[in-house]
Each structure stands twice: as C-alpha cells, then as structure tokens.
Structure 1
Amino acid sequence: MTAQDWVTLLQDKTVFNEHCLQIMKRIKDYGGEVSCTQLSAKYGESKNFYNANSSALARRVSEKTDCVLPPNRDSRDSKWWPILYVGKYASKQAKSEYIWKLRDPLSKALDQIDLSGVDLFAASDDENAEPSYWWMNANPKIWSFSELSVGEVEAYTLYNENGHKRRIFQNFIDAKAGDLVIGYEANPVKQIVALVRVKEENDGKKIFFEKTEGLSSPIDYQTLKACPELKDMEFFRNPNGSFFKLTQDEYEFILDMIREENPLKMGVSIPSYTKKDFLSEVYLSESQYDCLVDVLLNKKNIILQGAPGVGKTFCANRLAYSLMGEKNDRQIEFIQFHQNYSYEDFMMGYKPNESGGFSLKTGVFYRFCQKAANQPDKKFFFIIDEINRGNLSRIFGELLMLIESDYRGKKATLAYNGMAFTVPENLYLIGMMNTADRSLAMIDYALRRRFSFFELEPGFETRGFSDYKDNLENERFNALISKIVELNEEIRRDPSLGKGFCIGHSYFCGRGKDTCTERWMRAVVDYDILPMLSEYWFDDDDKVQRWDHILHGVFQ
C-alpha cells in the first residue's frame, strides 16, 4: 500500500480507533522502532495492550484492503503484524523480545496527519497513589552516589553493555517518578550514603535517579544486616542485581536509622544579622569589615591572626552570621586543633567499636561538607580555633588541594574508603591563630598558600568601642583604657615583641553600667594583664613593676 492509502485508513475510525492511534503515535515518538516491553515501560499500558490491539488493527486493515499476508507465520496472532510492521528479535538469545518497525508508507502517512489530540502517555490509575520504595546499589568502580551533587540526575540503563536485561528487570519497569530510593554504595564501601528519588520513570532504555540528600553519617551494611526487621529485604535474600524492592515498613525502618545519625533540624525562627549588627559588636571599622568579607569570599579560606584578646573567635562567629544574614548556628561548625588532632578525627578513620573490632567512621569535616552539599544555596562556615597548634599536613591530608578555591567542587578519591569526595563551593574555612604564642612553630607553608591572613588589632580606637565606652559613662573605665592604649604603644615599639603582642579590647568588653565595677576592672588588671606582662618582659622586672604602678594608679 502507498502512503496515501494509509492516510485514508488512518482517518477511518472503523479501522484506526483511539487505542490504535495511540500505539502509532507512541511508536513514532520512540523513533519508529520499538518492542512491546519498551512501549509499556515508557508510555504505560500492558504489553498485551500493544500486542492485541496491533493484531486486531492488522486484521481490520486486511479486511478493508484485501492485502496479502506473508505465509507460514508461527502463531495465530503474530501473522498479522507484518501488515503494519517489519521486525526482528532483539537478539538471537532473547527469542521473546520482538522489535517492531513501522513500514515506510505507514510511517510517512503518520507524518501527514494530526495526532495532537491523541494521548501519548496512558492516564495514571491513581495520580495520588503513595510512592513505591526501592534500594539502589551503585558500584563505586563504575559510578557513585557520592560523586553526585544534591539535585544532580543519574541515568541508569535498563540493559547491560551486552544488551541483556538488568537483573530483576520488572523492578525497573514498575518504578515511577517520585518513588523513594535508598542510595547504597557496594563493595568496598558497603554503606548507605544518600537518599534518592526516581526523577523520571524509564523510557524503555534508561531510568533516571535524582540525589536528594547526601548522608554526613553513612549507615554500614553490617549495622543493617544485624536488624531482624530487615531480614526479609529483597536485597538481603538475593543480592545479585542493582535495583531492589523495599516494603514501606522496610523503607521507614531504614529511614529511622538514617535520621538517628543524620537528624533533620526543625524549623525555628532565626534572628536576622546584618553588617550594621556586626559593626556594633565587633570593633572593626567599616572599611576593615568590607576588606575582610572580600578576602574571605574570594579565597574561601582565611586565618584571623592577632594578639590575645582582640576577639578572633567572636569576630569569626559574627562574620559568619553577617554573611548568612542571620544568627544561624546550624550552618557553623566550631573545632579546636591540638597536637594530637588527626586526619581520623577530621575526615575519617577506623575507630574501636563495641564488638572489639574497628569500624570506619567519618570525621567532623567530612560530615559538615556533606551537610553543606545538601543545601548549596546557603553559606556554611567551618571555624578552626588554634589552627597552628595541629600537625596541619597530617590533619588535612589530600584536602590541601580540595580546600583551594580553584578546586572547590572538584572530586578526589579518599584513601580510606575509595569514595569520591569534594569540598563544596558554599563552605568557607575560618582559622584563628594567636600571634603572641611563642611556643608555636611557623604555620605549614603548603597550608599558608591556601589561606589568606587577616590581622586583627585591638579596637580601642574604633567607633564601635567608643560608643560602648560612652554608654558605660564610667570615668575610671575611660582612664584605664587610656593607660592600656599607652601600654600597647610601648609593646609595639619593643623590638622583642611588636604589634602581635598588644593587649586586646575583649578583656574589657561585655559590661553594662551596673557591672562595670572597680572590682571587675582590678581583677582584669591583676589576673589578665599583669601576668601577661610578666611573661612578655620576664627578663625586665623594672618594666613590669612600672606598669603595675601605672595601671593600679587608675584606682587611687
């Protein structure tokens, strides 16, 4: 038959009913060559819907046109197919999978008629149906949930490289958009590392998964295997395959385990925090604040260094607030380095477990990076006090590269578990270093290149501290501050000390009119300032005594 003959038949509703037009439209949409399984998987309806309606259509075409059937067909139904299609088996081994291809005249005729009113996809039986639940194995030697960013979509083929169906093929067919998936990394990781959903159901060739959350504390295989509630899980009964069905109870039990280690924070009202708030609390000038912000946003890593009492910790915390625009401690992690701090504490390592063995545990920085990656539209701040007290090369390991601003978002394989890891773009590191600590060696040069250094100085002469002092309305306090300013000038001029040893303003902050008492001021002088001067000038008692008399003279 010619294309024009097919056009006439296509417009005859006694030959091409609504179901038959749907089949034609779907085959054209798929590319003109497809199996019943693929049609069912992508567009809905059962395989029998396509088989039965194609056979019935072919009979009607034969009756209408008296077209001759090819002889010696194997079955009563299949003999009708060649009227509409030419075809072949999907492979020599897969005798059950037959590929249809529209005959050229029929294909050309379909191009000439309007099928816009014909449904491409079958209507859902229940659009409000509950999602199904699944377990997906990722082979980290081929692909990894850990390598995906939150919101990133992974396409997974329904057929392997040899063209064979994946194991438990029906699971891929049954999965629908919106279904919930547990993301598991297979050997050697053997952990649940992500929560996932089916982004798009299969198109006959691939199914599409979207990562919705990375787990800062993954769940080990052995922990799951020991739970009697999961003993009948499809994955545990027959682990051969990649995509397994979960019951709702199994999914919710696993999710409860995940939430124990990776809790979601409930929404609460969070106060806003602005640049103005920062300048009222942290005694920097506006130009210094602007410079500090520019340096941190550009480099992503900064070290606040300065003398004792300049408010490095307070400044770091408030700087994070001001850049977030709110006082949200959930997006801040605070740690302190020391001589025994290690990579195993910071990133991951083997730690003793209850059974007397060792388990691989993630460290604080690893978990915080996962937390930041789950909310890429927000800023997160990792604050390290006493950053120069730790063995930095030992603590950071391969992170020395990943924390660089140019390498943010790049992936590197971790030594302990072979998983890909990245430091997110939205994570900022703020270190703090006391310049007056004589016992500390120079900071590691490799780390120095990756951080910018910002000097914090005593803020006695800033507008913020001046306003604070005026609000106290205390002349004795004003006199004491004047003497401290003079003391700092002498410390700066001392060739064995310098500005890094000045007395910071934070010793004198945090008071109101009722609490700014002479007793408090004397305590600061006697137990903070003078002991520090004794250490600075340990070989010059006369200088220490002179300043003892000057400072105590304020209270005469």
Structure 2
Amino acid sequence: MNYWIFQGNPKQFDVNTYVEENKELTWGVRQKQYIDDIKMGDKVFLWRADGGKKNSGGVIALSEVISEPYEGDEHYEVKLVIKAYRLTKDDGMLMRHELKELPETKTIQILKIGTGTNFKLTEQEFLILSEFWKKPNLVEERLEQSLVDRYLYAFKPQAKEWFRKAEFLYLNQHFFERFKTMEHLQQLEWGNVQELGNHINAFMTMPLAKKRALGNPNAPIEKYRESFMYLIYGEDSLQVRIDRFLHDENYKIFGLGESFVSEFVGNIFPEQYCFYNQRDKVAVENILELDPKYSRRDTIGEKFVKFQRCLNDHEISNKYLDIVGKQTNLPLYLEVDQFFSFLYETFGKSSQEETEVIMDGPQYWLLSPGENNYMWDDFKQNEIIGIGWKELGDLKKYSSKREILEALKEMNQLDYNPTMNALANYQFAFEMKVGDYVLIKAGIRKLTALGKIISDYIYDAAREGYHSIRKVEWLKTGNWDTGTLNLHTKALTDITPYEEYVQDLLEIMNVDSKEFDYPNANSGAGVVLDGPPDEPVPLPLFNSENIYQEIFMEEEEIEEILETLDYKKNIILQGPPGVGKTFLAKRLAFLHMGAIDDSKITMIQFHQSYSYEEFIRGYKPNENGHFILKDGIFYTFCKKAISDPEGNYYMVIDEINRGNLSKIFGELMMLMESDKRGKKYAVKLAYGKNEEETFYIPKNLYLIGTMNTADRSIALVDYALRRRFSFITVEPAFDSEKFSEYLRRKGLSQGFIEMIIGNMNDLNHEIVSDTINLGKGFEIGHSYFCPTIENVVDEQKWYDRIIKMEIKPLLKEYWFNQEEKVNELLERIK
C-alpha cells in the first residue's frame, strides 16, 4: 500500500463544498510518474491550499482510493471515497501553519515545496499524520511544550530503528574502554594511535585531517603516551587538561586538534560528558535554541565545560529518559549524542525552498544509471537517482572536490587523478539542487527519462544499490534515440552551459523547453557551446610531495590555503620581498587542480595605469588606424573557463595592489565574490556588442593575487580588495628544515647553510625592530638564496654575489639616509 496527500486549491475550485457534498470524489493525477503507483485501497489525506488566505490551509479529509487511475478529459484522474472530513480548525482540521511548527511533520514534502497536486508520503509520515488526525488536540499540546520536548517526541518513534543501524556505537565503546586503561596507555604503540582513525568521527568524515594526524607519527611515541595519560588521568580540571593538550608544547601533538578532543573526551567519559562536535553544537544551539552562554575569549576547554553545563541546566538527559526512554545498554550520553545526530541529520541542513529554486533557475544534468543501465529499474520504481563509488561513504563529509579526488586516489591506489569521477560525486552532493532537471541516458545515443529533483542529497548506507541518492519526480519515461547527437560517457554531466545541446535533447523527448524556464541559447557571455567535451587526456600529476620539495611551508599551512581557495575562490599572497609569492601562486594552482597544466593558468601584472579596457573590454586601434571593440585578457580567460565548466582555471595577478581594482573591474567588482559567480548573476558590460549580451564570472575560475608588503607606493589597500579576497601571509623560511634540506641538495655545506640562516635572521631582526621606518613587512625573503642552477660550485662566491647585487641595494633603499647603518649591517653578514 502507498500513502498520499492530494492537494486542492480554492482559487481553482470550491474545495470545501466539493468535499462536503460528495461521498465519492474525482481527483486529478497531475504527477504522471505516480500513475503506476496509485492503487485501490491506498490511503489519501486531502489537503486544502491557502489559496491566498494566509494560515487557512491544511489537512481537511482522510480518503481511500477506489479506482485505478484513468485518462480524463485533460489529465489522469482517480476516484476517492471520503472516510472523514473536517473543514475548520474547530472541527479538528490539521492546520498547515501549525504542522510546519512540529518537528514530526515540518519535513513532509508538501510543507517544503507546496506546489503540486499529488505528494507521496512515507509510511512513517502517514502514521504521524494519522495520529494527529485521530487526536487533533495533540497538535496544540505539542505546540505548548518546550522545544526540547517537541524534538524528543519527534525522535521517540524513530529511536528504535535509529539505534538498530548504529552498531558502530558498541564497537566504539569497546575500543575506548580498552584504550583508556592505564596498562594500555603505558604500552601504547603507533598502530594503537592510528586505530583512533576508525573511531573518531572527525577523522572518518575528514580524510585529509586523518592523513595529517595519523598518516605518520608527528611526535615520538613517548609523547603520545604522556599526552593521552595527562588528558585522561591528569590532576588538573578537565577544562585545563583540554586546553593544555591543545596548546601546551609538552602535550600538544600536530593533527590532534579541537575536533579530535571534542569527541575523544566524550568517548572516554561517556557517563559524564556528551560530545562537543559540530553536529552536537548545531543540534543544541541552532535547533533546540539553547544558549551555553559562551564568552568571546573562552578557550575550547571553557566552551566544552559550558556546553555540558547547559545540557545539565536544561535536564536534557532526564527528559530523554522520560520521553524517549533508554534504548540500549550503552552509557546515557552516547544515546543523547545520537539524539543530537538525529536532529542534525533531519533538521540541521536547510533545504532549498521553491522560491529559491525559481530565483536561481534550474540546472540540467545528464546521468547514467550505472554500467549497462542496471540501476534504472531501481531509479524508476523508487523515484530516486543515485551515484556509485560506495567506498567514499557519505559525500557530505568532504568539503571540496579536491578532497574527494584525494580520497579516490588513496582508496583505490591510483597513479592518476580521477578528475571526472571526483567531479561527478561533488556535483551530485553539492551542486545539484531541488528544482533541477535530470535526463537519464542509456549508452551514448538513447534517453530514457526526464525528472525533476525534489530532495536534497541523502546518504543511506543501509539500502541496497547506490547509497548516495536524491528523490526525483519522473516527468517523462520512455525511449528516445538521439541520432547523431552523442551523449557524454561520464556518469554525471552538468549540461546547463550547453544551451543548444539541452534544447536539442528536450526536443528529441518532445518537451517544450519554455515549460522549464530554460534560457535562450544566445544569452550569457556570448558563448554558445555544442555539447560537453570528451574526457581530458591525463596530465602529469602534481601533489603535496611535489610542492613540499619546492615550497618551505608546513603541510597544515598549505592545506589551509587550499581550503581557503576552495570556498573563497580569491586569495592574495602577501609578504616581504623574496619569499616566493609568485612562485608559490603557480604551484598552488597546480596542487589545487592536481596536475601540471599551464593551459589553465594565466599570469598578469597590475600597475597604476592598468585599465578596464585592457582587462575586460574596450576600443583599441587596429592596423588600419580604426578603433574596434576588443576583448581583454580577463574576458577572454573567463570565456575559456565557461567553455570548459568541468575544469579549474586560475588567473595569477602579480602586484595586485598596484592596480585600481574599482577602475579595472568596473561593474564586475561584485561578480568576483564567490557567491556571485555563475550565469544567474550575469550583468551587461560597459562595452556591449548588443543589447542582449551579458557577462558573468564562472564558478570554476580562481583568482590568486600577490602583494608586496614592502611596497612604499601603496599606503592602504582598497577596502573592496580586502572584502573580496582572503589574505595569506607568506613569511621568510630561513628556520624551516625544508629550506636547509633544499640548500643541502644544491651542494652547500651544513656549516655554510647555518651561517646564511644566522646572518639573515640577524638582519631581519634589525628590520623588524625598526618600527618607525620598516617593520615585519620588510623582512628579507629566503628566495634570494634559492639557486636556480643544479648545484652551487663555489658557495662563498655565490653568497657574496647575492649580498652585493641583491641584498645591498635593498638595504640602501630601506635606510636610504643611513649609510653608516647599512655598511655596518653588511659587515655583519659578510
């Protein structure tokens, strides 16, 4: 049996009278994909829409299907028999605005996306609505309860099944019961530490964090033993122990940070403390709206204690026992943590409302239901779409396409970048949205369905088949031959940019593109694409091992820069002269894309005379002396990125602060922001080729600027620049072991390397100490001493030449009126 909500709109017909005067009803079935699913005996709630009268809609009747769907004059119809009806709140009607306030019902599809005639309910949703239908006063009772109680009642009917799927809790408890024993800690070995990666959620959901923390030892094993012994058995208060474990050099261990500690302590002391991870914080602070009363300067230890105090003050554990009841023989706070996880999974991720979908406009996707179309029956029957790669687990645990790519390489031991597979998974989880359309293909010349996506990303590890899924409303199914129009071989392709291609596919399926608000093929940046390109030829890999041989920064610093580039899309590397900012910029682009591909990087340098006409578009003379409209370097590069939406493109702007950004970017200044990328934010250019032409900056374009902090010509950085870029300071690396190792590889003796480091640190100390004229932004960078030749034959001669030709002129510029000071410093570093 299936369960349904059928909606009627008072603007179109008198719903109340129709229900009141007829025992049997005829109702339209406008969602054609449901025709085969509606069966005699199915239970149907009838829903009256607001119809322009606020807070008047909701459930007005319970009915039953008494006929198979049949073709009517305009659409399919079905016969219903009324079991009971209530047309007003006083009669016991279930009001829409009240159901929307109840955790049990607020996620029902009709409350999230109100447009439509037919909505399928899960059995659980039907049972919940049935309970309220039988006892309409229960709605008001729930609304009078505290928010905590409401959500506990929402969890209660699902708790048994939730814990049935949580077998990992018992494995975790067994692991930590053994881990925390004094005997085990005293004999702790590296393999035991690495096991934490299978029992701490922060590591299981962040593969790169796990690799940094547990890939190789970051300290002697004795320090791991001492640190864990102190955190678990130290005599100080727990607050102090947490803070010292994170920040005290005697106990701090690279990779074991705040996310780790917040879960580790909860696992070690589950009878006393709940976890303090992001899921728990979102559940408590955002959903339950409880205030732990943090202060601005609280340490992590203080926040942890205040969070636990907040749970105690609001009697969370007691209320859990009273309303939900103990479900397992595990310590109570492990169950409470799972209640918070339920809240986070069910209510913590905001879904896209229909209004947002209309505003943003839909995207179009081409999807393969597995090799040889083997998942299509599952897709069709269960009204879902999905994507494979089960080894990745929940795709929401990855923060970027790059993380997914690295995970695929590591899990499958690949010696190449699985770029297309990583992109498909990232797009399925993060770029698809409710309201998008998906075309299902079979091979390279056949289409089998058109559907509309009606849910956010769902990860269901318990289901057979694909675990990463989305719900979909099938609009058309059948078999359509595309003839000479090839379909891309990738699992998933965003075909939205290929406007004529999409229109051709819709026409083949006898679908009017206007019905789906599809734009004209001639709009947007003047780029019309025929169709998705073939998969790119594999390029030489570029990974962390490559960059660490050339860049003297810690892995954590590099990873932080890459993560910033992921979400901000615009970064500026700032620092004193000679720290290798421009060199680093290009290597970061290679590392971010995972390959060496100069065709996707362009480098320019700003100066005070640089203009909009050079950068975007303007009139320039040709060989005949006539002025013609020419595209600038940025416009051309954006077009290149738009034509290849599945690749990443990088523009490196050297000396970015020397240009007048407002003048150079003009009306495109707003479009630089990461959340203003894409076609929906397209604007008309100052120099347009026609009235319809618009331009936008694509999502796959990244800007990396460099800025010299010792540049005296720039007093202040434009605020517009500050707001749209993340600033990353690159410092001299003389004290880095990687710098010393680099010079050793170039043939320098250890004693001479130590002399260089000592001299330059001494010189930089003088520069930093001169706070009136100079300061930290004027330090001498290490790149002056990074020879480009294979080996240094005469180290003293090489060093003297650098001091004479490069360092001395710089010092004279710094202290241009203090010749004696300059001479004295030069003597000290000879």
Instruction: Report SS of the residue matched to 2:542.
Output: coil
* Aligned with 1:499 (options 756, 759, 776): 776
Cα–Cα, structure 1 residues 493 and 401, in superposed 2: closer, same or farther, change >3 Å?
A: same
Change (3 A) 1:404 1:107: closer
Cα–Cα, structure 1 residues 534 and 355, in superposed 2: closer, same or farther, change >3 Å?
A: closer
SS of 1:383 mapped into structure 2: strand
* Residue of structure 1 in register with 2:720 after alignment: 446
Give the superposition deviation at 1:194. Answer: 8.2
Deviation for aligned residue 1:353: 3.0
Question: What's the counterpart of residue 157 of structure 2?
Answer: none
Residue 420 (structure 1) aligned with residue 694 (structure 2): yes
Q: Does 1:290 align with 2:568?
A: no
Counterpart of 2:612 in structure 1 is: 343
1:473–1:201 Cα change, 3 Å: same
- SS of 2:546's equivalent in the other structure is helix
Q: Which runs of 5+ in 2 are unaligned?
A: 1-31, 33-69, 77-361, 367-435, 438-481, 487-496
SS at match of 2:602: strand
Which residue is equivalent to 1:429?
703
Find the counterpart in structure 2 of residue 550 from structure 1: 828
Distance 1:217 1:204 in 2: 27
Which of 619, 627, 632 lines up with 1:363 in the alignment?
632
Q: How far has the Cα of 1:466 moved from its partner?
A: 2.2
CA contact (8 A) 2:527 2:639 kept: no
The CA distance in 1 between the partners of 2:735 and 2:511, in whole Å, is 70
1:476 partnered with 2:747: no
Q: What is the CA-CA distance between 1:372 and the residue it aligns to?
A: 1.6
Which residue does 2:507 correspond to in 1? 201
Instruction: Give the 3-state SS of the residue equivalent to 2:829 in structure 1.
Output: helix
* 2:588 corresponds to: 319
AA matched with 1:465: F
Deviation readout 1:403-456 (Å, 9 max, x if unpaired): 111212222222221422221112111111111111223121122111111111
Q: Aligned pairs, how many?
A: 340
SS in 2 for 1:413: coil
CA distance in structure 2 between the aligned counterparts of 1:450 and 1:364, rounded to whole angstroms: 20
The one-letter code sitting in structure 2 at the alignment partner of 1:485 is N
1:306-365 CA distance string (max 9 Å, x none)? 111000001100011111101111111111111221111111112223454322221111
Report if aligned partners of 2:524, 2:682 keep a CA contact under 8 Å in 1: no
Q: Answer with 499-508 or 208-217: which moved more.
A: 208-217
Q: Deviations over 1:468-525 (max 9, x none)?
A: 1333342334313321121111111111211110110111113543446332221110
Q: Which residue identity does 1:366 align to in structure 2?
A: Y
Change (3 A) 1:492 1:199: same
2:676 maps to 1:402: no
Which structure has the higher relative contact order (CA within 8 Å, separation 6+)?
1
Deviation of 1:196 (Å)? 3.9
- 1:101 paired residue number: none
Distance in 2 separating the partners of 1:404 and 1:542: 49
Aligned to 2:216: none
Query: Structure 1 residues 485, 357: closer, same or farther in 2, change over 3 A?
Result: same
Pairing partner for 2:795 from 494, 517, 531? 517
Tell me what 2:539 maps to. 270
Equivalent residues in 2 for 1:183-198, closer than 5 Å: 196-197=500-501, 198=504
Name the counterpart of 2:785.
Answer: 508
Query: CA–CA distance in 2 between the matches of 1:503 and 1:359?
Result: 46
For residues 51-73 of structure 1, give each alpha carbon's deviation from its aligned partner in whole angstroms, at most 9, with x where no partner exists.
Answer: xxxxxxxxxxxxxxxxxxxxxxx
Does residue 304 of the first structure (1) align with residue 568 of the second (2)? no
Q: State the AA in 1 paired with 2:565.
A: L
Q: Output the CA distance in 2 between the equivalents of 1:268 and 1:444.
A: 41
For 1:540, give the aligned amino acid. Q
Q: Give the match for residue 804 of structure 2.
A: 526
Closer, same or farther in 2 for the Cα pair 1:106/1:305, shift >3 Å? closer
Q: Are the counterparts in 2 of residues 150 and 213 from structure 1 also a CA contact under 8 Å?
A: no
Letter in 2 for 1:450: R
Residue 107 to residue 319, structure 1, CA distance change in 2 (3 Å): closer
Relative to structure 1, the CA distance from residue 206 to residue 266 in structure 2 (aligned partners, 3 Å threshold; closer, same or farther) is closer
The 1-side partners of 2:653 and 2:590 are apart by 16
Per mean C-alpha deviation after superposition, the further-off stretch among 364-373 and 394-403 is 364-373
1:378 aligns with 2:647: yes
Distance (whole Å) between structure 2 residues aligned to residue 469 and residue 291 of structure 1? 26
SS in 2 for 1:433: strand
**How far apart are 1:377 and its partner, in Å?**
2.5
1:486 lines up with 2:766 in the alignment? no
TM-score between both structures, scaled by the size of structure 1: 0.54
CA contact (8 A) 2:731 2:781 kept: yes
Q: Do the aligned partners of 1:177 and 1:199 also contact (CA within 8 Å) in 2?
A: no
Corresponding residue for residue 336 of structure 2: none
Match of residue 737, structure 2, among 452, 460, 463: 463
SS class of match (2:603) = strand
Q: What amino acid is the match of 2:601?
A: I
1:311 & 1:485 partners in 2: Cα distance?
Answer: 17
Which sections of structure 1, spanning at least 5 residues, go unmatched?
1-30, 32-104, 112-146, 154-175, 181-192, 220-254, 259-263
Change (3 A) 1:447 1:292: same
2-structure distance, mates of 1:518, 1:479: 11
* Between 395-404 and 199-208, the greater mean CA deviation after superposition: 199-208
* Displacement of 1:107: 9.1
Q: Contact conserved, 1:348 with 1:360, CA < 8 A, in 2?
A: yes
CA distance in 2, matches of 1:508, 1:266: 42
* Separation in 2, partners of 1:150, 1:390: 40
Superposed, 1:56-455 pairs within 5 Å as 178=484, 196-197=500-501, 198-201=504-507, 206=512, 270-409=539-678, 410-417=681-688, 418=691, 419-455=693-729
**Distance verdict in 2 for CA 1:447–1:480, change over 3 Å:** closer
Structure 1 residues 482 and 328: alpha-carbon distance in aligned structure 2, compared to 1, 3 A threshold: same
What letter corresponds to residue 779 of structure 2 in structure 1? C
Q: Contact 2:573 / 2:727 at 8 angstroms: preserved in 1?
A: yes
C-alpha distance in 2, partners of 1:150/1:447?
35
**Whole-Å Cα distance in 2 between the matches of residues 276 and 398 of structure 1?**
41
How many angstroms apart in 1 are the aligned matches of 2:644 and 2:553?
A: 31
The answer on whether the counterparts of 2:792 and 2:798 sit within 8 Å (CA) in structure 1 is no
Q: Are 1:541 and 2:819 counterparts? A: yes
CA distance, structure 1, for counterparts of residue 819 and residue 71 of structure 2 = 106
Q: CA deviation at 1:548?
A: 1.7
Q: 1:360 to 1:288 in 2, by over 3 A?
A: same
Larger Rg: 1
Query: Shift in Å at residue 277 of structure 1?
Result: 1.7
Q: Deviations over 1:207-259 (max 9, x none)?
A: 7999999998879xxxxxxxxxxxxxxxxxxxxxxxxxxxxxxxxxxx9xx9x
Change beyond 3 A, Cα 1:507–1:299: same
Q: TM-score scaled to structure 2, two decimals? A: 0.37
**Structure 1 pair 204/532, CA: closer, same or farther in 2 (3 Å)?**
closer
Relative distance call for 1:469 and 1:204 in structure 2 (3 A) is closer
RMSD: 3.9
User: Structure 1, residues 141-164: CA drift from partner, whole Å, max 9, x if none?
Assistant: xxxxxx9999899xxxxxxxxxxx
Richer in helix (by share): 2
Q: Do the aligned partners of residues 210 and 196 (structure 1) sit closer, same or farther apart at CA in structure 2, a change above 3 Å counting? A: farther
SS at match of 2:582: helix
When residues 328 and 149 of structure 1 are mapped into structure 2, their CA distance, relative to the original with a 3 A threshold, is farther
**Which amino acid in structure 1 is aligned with residue 578 of structure 2?**
G
